[in-house]
Amino acid sequence: YMEEGLLGTAIVQKRLTLFLDIYRLIELVEPDWFDERKKQQKKSKDKKKILLVEDTIFLQQLEKRYLETDGYDVTVAEDGKEGLEILKNESFDLIVSDIEMPRMNGWEFIKAIRNDKKLKDIPAMAVTALDTESDRIRTLKAGFDAYQVKIDRERLLLQISELINGDAIEKNTRLQAQENEIIISEKPNISDNRRDFCTFWLSGRLFGVDILGVKEITSQVEFTPVFHAANSIKGYVNIRGQIHLVVNLKRLLGLDSSDQSDLSGRVILFKMDVGESFGVLVDRISDVVRVSKDQIEESRSSSDQNMGEGLDTKDNELVTGVCKLEDNLLVILNAHRFLKSV
C-alpha cells in the first residue's frame, strides 16, 4: 500500500528514508494550484495516452505520477524493446522516453519507430540525464521531437502539452536536422549550469558521481563471487531478480583496500550506463551536493594536501574534476568509465 504523496523508500546510512512527492502533497492541500491543465484535459473527448519508457524505477514512478495527475493515461515500459512490443498492440498520442537504458537505448528505440510506417508519425520526447549540446543534437537527429534534461515538472508538462496539441517547439528542428546537420548546432544549450552529485566516502576521501546516473542505493547484500575475475570485481548481487555486477571502487582507484572487515554490509551504489547495469562498493554514503559547473576544476595532481596519499587525480581517467566544498575536497568521478577500466 502506497500513501498519497509518498514516492517510496530506500535505506540510506542504515536508516529507512522516505521520498516525498512535494507536488502531490501541495496538490492534496491546495488542489486549485494545478487545475488549469486538468481542465483542458477534461474538455477533450478522449483521454490522451502516453507511453513512458524509463528503466530507473524511482524516476519511472515520479514521471508516471506527474503525467497521471495531469490527466493522462500512462503505460510504462522499462526499455526500448519492451516499448516496441507495447506499440505493436496499442496506440498512443505521445512517447516519453529515457535515453540510457539496457537492451535497447532511446536512440535505437526512436530510430526503430521512425522506420516503421505505422509508428513514424507519433510525437516523441526524450527526458534524459544527458545534458550536453552534442547529446541534444544527437537526440533530435535520431528522431525525437523534443528534448529535456531530467527533470523539471512544469517544463515537462508544458512541453508534453505542446507536443500533443501539435505546437512542439523543436519538432521542425528535428525534421530540419535530418536534412542539414548545421541547423541544430545554432541553438543554445538548454541545460542548467548546476549539477547534483551523490557523494560518498572511500578511504577517508569524499567522492561524487552525477545523481542522475544513480539508480538505487542499498546495503546488506550478499555477493556471488566471480572466479578468475579482475581483483577490482567484487562479484554479482541479485536485487529483486535483476543481476548487477559490483566493482570494488577502492581497488579500481588504487586506494588502500586492506580493511576487509564486513564487506558484505557495505553500502552499494548502483548506476545505469548505456546497455549496462552495475554497482560500486563504497564505504558509506554522504549527502547530495549541488555545485555550479564553474566550481569544478579540472583534474590535478594529488599533491593537494586535502587529497592525502594514494590517489593521482591528474592522470586518473576515472576522475573528471575536483570541487572545493566548505570542509572537504570533492573528487568527481565519471561512472560511465568504471566498467571500461576494469
241 within domain boundaries: yes
In a domain, 262, yes or no: yes
**Domain, as residue range, for 323:** 194-341
Quote the distance between the C-alpha of residue 130 and its chain's center: 8
Q: What is the mean pLDDT of the chain?
A: 76
Q: How many domains does the chain have?
A: 2
Q: What is the pLDDT of residue 312?
A: 54
Residues 200 and 117 in one domain: no
pLDDT of residue 207: 92
In our burial notation (b when 16+ CB lie closer than 10 A, e otherwise), range 67-89 reads: bebbbbebebbbbbbbbbeebee
> Are 235 and 314 members of one domain?
yes
pLDDT of 262 reads 42
Per-residue pLDDT of the chain (342 residues; tens, 9 = 90+): 356 677 666 666 667 677 777 766 777 776 665 555 555 555 554 689 999 999 888 788 889 988 988 889 999 999 999 999 999 999 999 999 999 998 899 999 999 999 999 999 999 999 988 878 788 888 998 999 998 888 778 788 888 988 887 654 444 444 444 444 433 333 434 445 778 888 888 888 999 988 877 777 776 567 788 887 888 888 887 776 677 788 888 888 888 665 554 444 465 655 555 346 788 888 888 888 888 888 888 755 444 444 444 565 555 788 888 998 888 899 999 888 887 777
Rounded CA gap, 46 and 37, in Å?
15
Tell me the Cα Rg of the chain.
22
Q: Answer whether the bond into residue 151 is a cis peptide, omega within 30°.
A: yes
- Do both 215 and 82 map to the same domain? no
Q: Are residues 86 and 217 in the same domain?
A: no
At 331 the pLDDT is: 92
Is 171 domain-assigned?
Answer: yes
Residue 208 CB neighbour total at 10 angstroms: 24
User: What pLDDT is attached to residue 72?
Assistant: 92
Together in a domain, 10 and 59: yes
Q: For residue 325, what are the CA distances in angstroms to 213, 253, 292?
A: 21, 21, 12
Same domain, 110 and 226: no
- What's the rounded Cα separation, in Å, for the pair 319 and 323? 12
Task: Give me the CATH number covering residue 167.
Answer: 3.40.50.2300
Q: What are the tens digits of pLDDT across the range 290-323?
A: 888 888 887 554 444 444 445 655 557 888 889 9
